[in-house]
Chain A
Amino acid sequence: MPLLRSAFILLIVLVAGIAPARAVEVQRVVSPGGVEAWLVEDHSNPIIALDLAFRGGAALDPAGKEGLANLVSGLIDEGAGDLDSQAFQGQLQNLSISLSFSAGQDAFNGDLATLTENRDTAFNLLRLALTAPRFDAEPTERIRAQILAGLAQQAEDPDWIAGRTMDVLQFPDHPYGRPVSGTAESLGAITRDDLQTFVATRLARDRLAIGVVGDITPAELAVYLDKTFLALPAEGAPLEIADTRPAGGGEVVVVERDVPQSIVQLAEQGVARDDPDYYAAYLVNYIFGGGGFASRLYAEVREKRGLAYSVYSYLNPMDHAALLSGGVATRNGRVGESLEIIREEWRRMAQDGPTAQEVADAKTYLTGSFPLRFSSSGRIAGMLVAMQLEKLGIDYLERRNSLIEAVTLDDAKRVARRLYDPDALTVVIVGRPDGIAPTRPAPKIES
């Protein structure tokens, strides 16, 4: 009996040994004025990183004014309150405070990083940017010109062309099919009124998530939360975007360009972040093409046949749609072969699902590597915001590994069968691929 017992204990130790201890403690801080932030205190370095997001992004840009959210994100740190653009940027640069904003389809984001000694100024500049941006003529034209230059720069980039073509194919009648950065035409149509209305109606506390990491206590943070965010309107304009499914229908589209290497992108219906099968899907995708060196796609396309440097798949859950996507880049003459192999792997995963060994190895990797995400303050602050936006709960960091461990082989096979549909796979190829017969002409994208 003693031998059996010690073997049992050994087994426990071996199994438990992989699961890492939780690396960070998350505190919910709610200010007297009711502003909430999730905080990870860390006093080992005199810096503070803050990440924020307002729900609702470029998908809400008015028709004909695509690029509005993105333009606002480039402008609110170019002069606010009594500080014109030079003065505002001058203060940031002088004190090595980094402040920047960006817009995606579903959210408007902000990032602040400061040395502890400059935190008063940092939070004040953040407050001004969010509540009193000036939108003066010179910086507005300058930033608009920068965005236009960026659009021109990427216009002939085959990766960009592939991505936009896929968006238009999958979401022809939905805001997700529109470009976040806008077009030359739509950017020209945006007025100062539009910019100000955006700030007044979209940067509101009812849709705000804040994550803070670094050299600040809950009591100190609470004071700054009120000082910085109470000036924002309590409520903003309603967020009304319809849910939708990808419309690509498994078509194969070629956009001809004279490049030596074709860029291939693939996508079909995915799984929502709050779907009960999400973690199983995440695990299966890791096995299929998300796991870099360890994935099936890597093994078949790159390792065995040297067909590509880059081949991958990933889950893309958005607020109102979800995709399962993938891609490969290979020389024009080998596109046909690469695509055949990828489709065959897609089919094999749907039919047979992953093996027990693959599932075990995936769990070991996904749980064991979780602490690797806590590699910088900025990354952790970003995770705190994502946890709030996706409503994962403040204890998510503690629960996440058990959610992965809970996926059974049966779950994985069922979800693989549910998700991987090679006939539904919409394919976009940019280049001069040999031996590919498109099933319809490429849709027009902005140029």
Chain B
Amino acid sequence: MRTVPCAASLHRLGLAFLLALAVLALQARDSAARVFDPETFTLSNGMQVVVITNARAPIVTHMVWYKVGAADETTGESGNAHLLEHLMFKGTKTLGPGEFSRLIAKNGGQENAFTSYDYTAFYQTVAKDRLELAMKFEADRMQNLVLTEDLVASEREVVIEERRSRVENDPASRLRETMQAVLYLNHPYRIPVIGWKHEIEQLNAKTALAFYHRWYTPNNAVLIVAGDVTAADVRPLAEKYYGAIPARPVPQRVRATEPPQTAARRVTLESAEVRQPGLAMTYLAPSYNSADSEHAYPLEVLDEILGGGTASRLYRALVVEQGLAASVNTSYSPSALDLSSFDISASPRPGVDIEKVEAGVRAEIARLLQDGVNEDEVATAKRRLAADAIYARDSLNTAPNVFGRALTTGRSVADVEAWPDRIAAVTVEQVMAAARAVFREESSVTGLLLPKPTS
């Protein structure tokens, strides 16, 4: 064997990290399985800070997550949270519109932001010696945003194009939007994050700034830094930039709650743009944070058993054995401040009626409820989820996103780190109790995407 190593690199930091990991590994034998091993502290103004060290490259991802999202909007102002996210790039008392982005780019950084129902996040990935700059700018726009009606009007048009692109131009997306609107009868999760077009058109600088002043405070935000840094590096900078911003009272996040659901719903979208029919079924489900949250970890295991790849129940039965579906997928995310949903989607094999696919999915659910799951299935699913936790450490951006989602939806750093143990503790009985709690037709929506009938 011949190896031709290149010139030495800067692995002295990597070595230090390896040693640290070795020490942690020794400790880990006695204590619980961990995922990312973060450091955490809180500034005097109440802003929580999480630092995850990953010394693979001399870069950091710097994120600020606000504990507010689309589900916290005032009735009639759908799209306000997302529009504000766009407007955060439009300038402050000291930086002009777009200047934040230009400065980050000038410093070799990448950046973006995103809005969901329960959180709004802003992030930059930069060389580690630019972290201070990223913090300075992010802290600046946390309190010094400046908007004009012209700027807002222009960005509103951009958001409307975004809506056109994501929703109006895509029949599958339009179906999902309507399904979401009827899955939740009363809760604001029924309203699209991007907003209804007619309500977006009414948003302005006043609505955006009202939301901004109400929710964007350091005590309502989480700072997450991942990369070639430690808490010792981050703390003084966080104190200097974010710590200087005074806390302000923030309203409680009170959303309209769901009444009991007593009728199954069906939604059908027919369109000339559809050649390949699609089936989607969504069931109301608990989250880590809602009532009945004891079902959340078992539901993650059930998600894996039912649809977690080519050896899963639905794939084996519907795609391989019965040849009804071309593809089938399940999805369940337990990270929500309120309720969540368990989703199944399937695409028929060419020539197979979609009704047969729906019947096939329902038969598998009935079989699950009747015959249960076995120990092997549960053990395999848990093993696969445990492996996911190891793979999750590989990418620089996974940890900050996991912590951001958790800390803005009612959970703690300890919850994230305990995830492998909690998954490992799930039993067959718990999986079945969760299945029986969730697979109830009266709290579900079935959606069909169909071609336009030709006659």
**A113 pairs with B391, CB closer than 8 A:** yes
Give 1 or 0 for each of B1-40: 1 = CB within 8 Å of chain A CB: 1111111111100100110010000000000000000000
Q: Decide: A369 near B380, CB < 8 A? Known: A28-B3, A331-B164.
A: no
**A29 pairs with B1, CB closer than 8 A:** yes
Provide the bound-state CA to CA distance between A370 and B107, in Å: 11
**A368 pairs with B109, CB closer than 8 A:** yes
Check B350 for interface membership: any CB of A closer than 8 A: yes
* 9-residue interface stretch from B67-75, B98-106, B210-218, B242-250: B98-106
Provide the bound-state CA to CA distance between A113 and B391, in Å: 9
Give 1 or 0 for each of A211-227: 1 = CB within 8 Å of chain B CB: 00000001100100000
CB distance from A139 to the nearest CB of B (A): 8
Give 1 or 0 for each of A86-100: 1 = CB within 8 Å of chain B CB: 100110111110000
**A309 pairs with B272, CB closer than 8 A:** no
Provide the bound-state CA to CA distance between A128 and B406, in Å: 41
| B58 contacts across to A, CB distance below 8 A | 20-21, 23, 371
**B3 pairs with A309, CB closer than 8 A:** no
**A25-B6, A305-B154 known, 9 other contacts, Cβ within 8 Å:** A22-B9, A25-B11, A93-B384, A96-B387, A149-B327, A258-B272, A263-B169, A368-B109, A371-B57
**B326 pairs with A309, CB closer than 8 A:** no
Check B274 for interface membership: any CB of A closer than 8 A: yes
* 9-residue interface stretch from A150-158, A348-356, A412-420: A150-158
Check A303 for interface membership: any CB of B closer than 8 A: yes
**A364 pairs with B106, CB closer than 8 A:** yes
Check A247 for interface membership: any CB of B closer than 8 A: no
| B319 contacts across to A, CB distance below 8 A | 142
**B97 pairs with A303, CB closer than 8 A:** yes
Provide the bound-state CA to CA distance between A22 and B14, in Å: 13
CB distance from A81 to the nearest CB of B (A): 18
Residues on A lying within 8 angstroms of B by beta carbon are: 17-18, 20-32, 42-47, 49, 85-86, 89-90, 92-96, 113, 115, 138, 141-142, 145-146, 148-150, 152-153, 155-158, 218-219, 222, 257-261, 263, 291-294, 299, 302-310, 329-331, 361, 364-372, 374-378, 394-395, 398
**B59 pairs with A371, CB closer than 8 A:** yes
Q: Decide: A146 near B127, CB < 8 A? Known: A24-B9, A26-B6, A261-B168.
A: no
Provide the bound-state CA to CA distance between A21 and B7, in Å: 12
Check B443 for interface membership: any CB of A closer than 8 A: no
| A142 contacts across to B, CB distance below 8 A | 319-320, 323
**B320 pairs with A85, CB closer than 8 A:** yes
Other-chain residue from B97, B107, B278, B310 in contact with A89 (beta carbon distance below 8 A): B310
**B395 pairs with A376, CB closer than 8 A:** yes
**A372 pairs with B350, CB closer than 8 A:** no
Closest to B396 in A: A375
Instruction: Give the tally of cross-chain contacts (CB within 8 A).
Output: 239
Other-chain residue from B108, B130, B155 in contact with A367 (beta carbon distance below 8 A): B108
**B101 pairs with A149, CB closer than 8 A:** no
Check B418 for interface membership: any CB of A closer than 8 A: no
Check B120 for interface membership: any CB of A closer than 8 A: no
Check B263 for interface membership: any CB of A closer than 8 A: no
CB distance from A361 to the nearest CB of B (A): 5
Interface of B is mostly: mixed
Closest to B380 in A: A94
Give 1 or 0 for each of B386-403: 1 = CB within 8 Å of chain A CB: 011011011111000000
**A25 pairs with B9, CB closer than 8 A:** yes
Provide the bound-state CA to CA distance between A307 and B156, in Å: 10
Closest to A23 in B: B57
Other-chain residue from A218, A291, A302 in contact with B105 (beta carbon distance below 8 A): A291
Check B309 for interface membership: any CB of A closer than 8 A: yes
**A115 pairs with B275, CB closer than 8 A:** no
Closest to A21 in B: B10
CB distance from A396 to the nearest CB of B (A): 11
A-B contact pairs, 10 of them (CB 8 A): A17-B129, A26-B6, A29-B1, A149-B276, A259-B168, A309-B158, A309-B162, A310-B165, A368-B109, A369-B110
Q: Decide: A149 near B158, CB < 8 A? Known: A21-B58, A96-B384.
A: no
**B396 pairs with A261, CB closer than 8 A:** no
**B390 pairs with A375, CB closer than 8 A:** no
Interface positions, chain B 91-150, Cβ under 8 Å from A, are 97-98, 101-102, 105-111, 125-127, 129-130
Q: Decide: A45 near B311, CB < 8 A? Known: A25-B9, A28-B3, A261-B165.
A: no
Provide the bound-state CA to CA distance between A329 and B162, in Å: 9
Provide the bound-state CA to CA distance between A155 and B275, in Å: 7
Provide the bound-state CA to CA distance between A86 and B433, in Å: 29
Provide the bound-state CA to CA distance between A330 and B387, in Å: 43
| B356 contacts across to A, CB distance below 8 A | none
| B153 contacts across to A, CB distance below 8 A | 306
| B199 contacts across to A, CB distance below 8 A | none
Check B273 for interface membership: any CB of A closer than 8 A: yes
Provide the bound-state CA to CA distance between A365 and B383, in Å: 42
Provide the bound-state CA to CA distance between A304 and B97, in Å: 10
Q: Decide: A156 near B380, CB < 8 A? Known: A149-B350, A309-B162.
A: no
| B1 contacts across to A, CB distance below 8 A | 29-32, 218-219, 222
**A307 pairs with B57, CB closer than 8 A:** no
Check B353 for interface membership: any CB of A closer than 8 A: no
CB distance from B232 to the nearest CB of A (A): 20
Q: Decide: A371 near B127, CB < 8 A? Known: A303-B98, A361-B105.
A: yes
Check B292 for interface membership: any CB of A closer than 8 A: no
Other-chain residue from B7, B14, B59, B102 in contact with A372 (beta carbon distance below 8 A): B59
| B170 contacts across to A, CB distance below 8 A | 157
| B316 contacts across to A, CB distance below 8 A | 86
**A158 pairs with B169, CB closer than 8 A:** yes
Provide the bound-state CA to CA distance between A305 and B130, in Å: 32
**A369 pairs with B108, CB closer than 8 A:** yes
Check B429 for interface membership: any CB of A closer than 8 A: no
Provide the bound-state CA to CA distance between A309 and B161, in Å: 6
Q: 4 shortest A-B CB distances, which residue pairs?
A: A368-B108, A306-B157, A96-B387, A149-B326
| B109 contacts across to A, CB distance below 8 A | 368-369, 372
Most central of B111, B154, B276, B312 by chain A CB within 10 Å: B276
Q: Decide: A146 near B276, CB < 8 A? Known: A29-B1, A261-B168.
A: no
Most central of B11, B127, B350 by chain A CB within 10 Å: B127
| A308 contacts across to B, CB distance below 8 A | 158, 161
| B3 contacts across to A, CB distance below 8 A | 27-30, 218
